[in-house]
A and B are shown apart, each in its own frame.
Chain A
Amino acid sequence: MRQRDRGKPPSKQYTRLTHPLVRDEKGGPLRRATWEEALEKATAGFRRTRDEHGPDAFGMFSCARATNEMNYVAQKFTRVIMGTHNVDSCNRTCHAPSVAGLSAAFGSGGGTSSYEEIETTDLIVMWGSNARFAHPIFFQHVLRGIRNGARMYAVDPRRTSTAEWAESWLGLNVGTDIPLAHAIGREIIHAGLANHAFIERATTGFEEYRDEVEPWTLSVAEQVTGVPADAIRDLAHAYATAERAQLCWTLGITEHHNGTDNVRALINLSLLTGQVGRYGAGLQPLRGQNNVQGGGDMGAIPDRLPGFQNVLDPETREKFEAAWGTTLEPRHGRNLTKMFEAMESRELRAVYCIGENPAQSEADSGQAVERMQMLDHLVVQDIFLTKTAELADVVLPATAAWCETDGTTTNSERRVQRVRKAVDPPGEAREDIDIICDIAARLGHDWKYADSEAVWDELRSVSPQHHGMTYERLAEHQGIQWPCPSTDRLEPTYMHGRLWEKDPERRGKPAPFGIVKHDPPVDLTDEDYPLRLTTGRRLDSYNTGVQSGSFASPLRRGEYVELSPEDAEHYGVVTEEEVRVTSRRGSVVAPVWVDPMLRPGLAFMTMHFPDEVDTNQLTIEANCPIAGTAEFKASAIRIEKLPVAAAVRS
């Protein structure tokens, strides 16, 4: 058996793209091309698609890793030049449910608090979030909070390194977040700890919510979630009685087929107790990518225009139509998930994919590749020849946004910060905005942006919540949080303080309770697939590993299927032994790692090393109907010993 050296980088090392590539015929090889040839070919394909199949046959995969400015231009390209709202990004695979849930409750899709508030809060709930690994610097703020006296509760199927810092760890069964949240809500109501003054003033739908959670007694919840009733009661009382509480979540909540419902179930708890809209009391979804917040804010999503303004609102559309000199369809475009489905039905014919790697990041990745192969025209703009770029008709070498371009990105606390160019790009690589504008010009739209600031100022002119953020002020304040409508004022660090106003006029639209029901994971465990596989991140690696694979981390040990000691014993497998891991969709071979932090029946893998072990062959493409996020967190698998017993590393 091969030795796995600590610190060994993964087998696949990506090198930067330095010149354009084109494919002369489907199935043929990619060959080097000039920019002129590649851009002409890319443009011709988009033009042909639009002329022959209509605007909605085009789709844009914008990039949650690139700047706000690039996302603004990409969505403008989609809407103005191609005439469709089919624009989306990989926010769909992670936090779209957070945005959908928060905007349904509060009319705004951002986290309601700031990092600094967690340092002085009284109670911190980390739900489905291993921030110690996935968001280490955010967790430093949590640790400061704990050192300042806050109590922390961790809710996670795995006893993670985040849970090590908790006062109490609630190890629930995968996909039982709603029963747990409902039981907490019911306990708060029955213990007389609900904040009725807040509920009456600032919310709607309480009676219905009370009826919905009524069946979820502590003992019923214990049976379903696997969490002892006492632990649930303890968290309920702690959350309701805390002066100020922060409820934080990550992908453990959102990457489910009912992710938006999960988010609503958590928001309900804040409405029930008034733990929102005050300094130190709020909701904090932790975003997985440097600009997944900003991409959505910029309108690179199918239902919102820049500034998170509703496509369906006639006045908003009129404003943008006037600003852009175009007409906008009064309907939503397709989200990423729907675009993939439309590839199969041949309604979607051409895709412009900027900096995304759906061939490896989508759930059920085998199916995603097959679907992309059905496209007439695929243009990929990236810094590497990713698996997705390998499928493309035209590959355009771009700059690494965070260090080779100027612009801004928006973080999890809604802070817009300046990105600055520090190094020159390699070879012939060009800036994203420059490339998009070149194609736009070839399609008859001569957009003139002198620099990223010109793009930003155009965005500021159409987005009230960004209006006050000039580049100068962003530098002065080390970033500014939205909303920031005025150029001479800063808003509070927390949002929705209006809900506490006495005057109904100023209080605005009350926040509705989300009436949501428990719906277990789609991929059921049974005799054939008895183990529950969940996925997540490790400290030193990131997503599909294209970016993090290049440095020699002493912590990196490659991909493993992690099993509890009980399951390892049951299957007679030991650490480092390679086994076959099979789900209803696919099968991979991976070595075993025995992790005592896992409970029996639960297995864990990451998606960091898809070129070694393609975990997303196993995951299920069952989607949240509201947000379109796939259920990465819950697959059913089985483990099989390989026929020839592998030697064990001594």
Chain B
Amino acid sequence: MTAVPLNPPRRLVEFTLDGEPARVPEGSTILDACDAAGKDVPTLCYGDTLTPKNACRVCVVEVEGSRTLAPACSRKAEPGMEVRTDTERARHSRKIVLELLASAADLSTTPRVAEWIKEYEAKPDRFGEDAATLNDGPKVDNDLYVRDLDKCILCYKCVDACGEQWQNTFAISVAGRGFDARISVEHDGPLTESACVYCGNCIEVCPTGALSFKSEFDMRQAGTWDEERQTETTTVCAYCGVGCNLTLHVQDNEIVKVTSPHDNPVTHGNLCIKGRFGYQHVSSGKAT
């Protein structure tokens, strides 16, 4: 018989982080070590439920002896490594990345990006007003999702979440090459004619709001979306017996968004169409 597979005890890796000794379990990334040490390294394409894609380069740090800067989100900590997160070179690189991304894409709904632009003194508008690569406007072709590719930074997280890393539906892919590359569904058609099953797991990982729930999109358009006034309560889905944990985002006693904790053993942050969108019966016909 097979015994319960006990993971072997993880050895600790010791290295130097900004001149201080750091100690993390073997297999941890530099980013993990930074989080543990309370250092704030910006990330965009990194997703805690996904394999690092190394697409955006905003998390780069300097590793002693390495010719190029290393992405903290994917570079594993090694014994004796000397890592500096805040050197002139790393800061400059982050500044350029932020300037390029923020000039090419609309980052108005990207959490924390305004703060980083200020911190790194990035000046995205120095490339002129017509630096935006798309200017297509939001695509609203169904009642659940909105796709606003003007906000897309091509991090590929949605492709991975829809594809083999989680959902295995493969509705989302990258079309085109080079400057023409963009996130698309088959034949670049409307979502309703694609393989999409409306699980919302791509929206869950989108870092910029390029993919968003229609409920959130509509409220933002109307100027009523106010995260300050929202509460987040984690409960259990009311549909099948799998028992997915749902975090209900509630504003003015209405559920406005549903997510799932990324560290949950049942969902790993993923949901299906019923859990993600099937809440409206609760408020249907509610006296308003």
Contact = CB atoms under 8 A, between A and B. Distances in A.
Interface size class on chain B is: 35 or more
Contact of A412 (B197, B198, B242, B273): B242
Given A135-B241, A137-B271, A553 B236 contact: no
A239 to B, nearest CB: 16
A421 interface: yes
A151 interface: no
B281 A423 contact: no
Interface stretch (B90-98, B172-180, B245-253): B245-253
B234 interface: yes
A479 B235 CA distance: 11
Given A290-B243, A404-B282, A120 B5 contact: yes
A279 B2 contact: yes
Contact of B5 (A279, A402, A410): A279
B277 A15 contact: no
B287 A553 contact: no
A546 B281 contact: yes
Contacts of A412: 241-243
> Which residue, of A6, A292, A426, has the highest number of chain B Cβ atoms within 10 A?
A426
A222 to B, nearest CB: 32
A547 B281 contact: yes
Contacts of A417: 236, 243, 245, 266
Contacts, number: 211
A16 B285 contact: yes
Contact of A552 (B143, B233, B282, B286): B143
Given A18-B287, A290-B238, A402-B236, A554 B142 contact: yes
Interface residues of A, number: 76
Interface string A406-447: 000111110101111111101100000000000000000000
Interface in A453-508: 478-479, 492, 500
A290 B197 contact: no
A551 B145 CA distance: 13
Contacts of A135: 240-242
B241 A286 contact: yes
A92 to B, nearest CB: 15
A244 B167 CA distance: 25
Main secondary structure of the interface of A (DSSP, over half): loop
Contacts of A244: 2
A419 B245 CA distance: 9
Interface in A541-577: 541-542, 546-555
A401 to B, nearest CB: 7
B278 A542 contact: yes
Given A140-B166, A274-B1, A539 B273 contact: yes
Interface string B259-288: 001011111101111110111111111110
A550 B284 contact: yes
Contact of A138 (B242, B271, B281): B242
A423 B283 CA distance: 9
A561 B240 CA distance: 24
B252 to A, nearest CB: 10
A420 B235 contact: yes
B255 interface: yes
A554 to B, nearest CB: 4
Interface in B120-138: none
B270 A554 contact: no
A281 B254 CA distance: 43
Contacts of A424: 253
A423 B278 CA distance: 15
A51 to B, nearest CB: 37
A307 interface: no
A415 B280 CA distance: 26
A426 B278 CA distance: 18
B164 A147 contact: yes
Given A403-B248, A423-B254, A548 B239 contact: yes
Contacts of A542: 239-240, 274, 278
Given A492-B4, A547-B281, A553-B277, A421 B238 contact: no
> Which residue, of B244, B281, B285, has the highest number of chain A Cβ atoms within 10 A?
B281
A384 B4 CA distance: 47
B222 interface: no
Nearest to A416: B243
Given A289-B240, A292-B241, A422-B255, A7 B4 contact: no
B109 interface: no
Contact of B198 (A134, A409, A540): A540
B192 interface: yes
Contacts of B266: 115, 137, 411, 413, 415, 417, 479
B199 interface: yes
A110 to B, nearest CB: 11
Contact of B143 (A287, A500, A554): A554
Given A65-B238, A539-B272, A16 B278 contact: no
Interface in A271-321: 274, 278-281, 286-293
Interface string B190-230: 01100011110000000000000000000000000000000
B200 to A, nearest CB: 11
- By Cβ-Cβ distance, the 7 closest A-B pairs, closest first, are A411-B243, A15-B285, A287-B241, A136-B272, A422-B233, A552-B143, A402-B238
9 contacts: A138-B242, A140-B270, A288-B240, A289-B240, A419-B235, A551-B143, A553-B273, A554-B142, A555-B197
Interface of B: 1-5, 142-144, 164, 166-168, 191-192, 196-199, 231, 233-245, 248, 250, 253-255, 261, 263-268, 270-275, 277-287
Given A287-B241, A552-B144, A554-B144, 16 more contacts: A136-B197, A137-B267, A165-B168, A286-B242, A289-B240, A400-B282, A402-B236, A403-B282, A417-B266, A422-B231, A547-B281, A551-B278, A551-B280, A553-B273, A554-B198, A555-B198
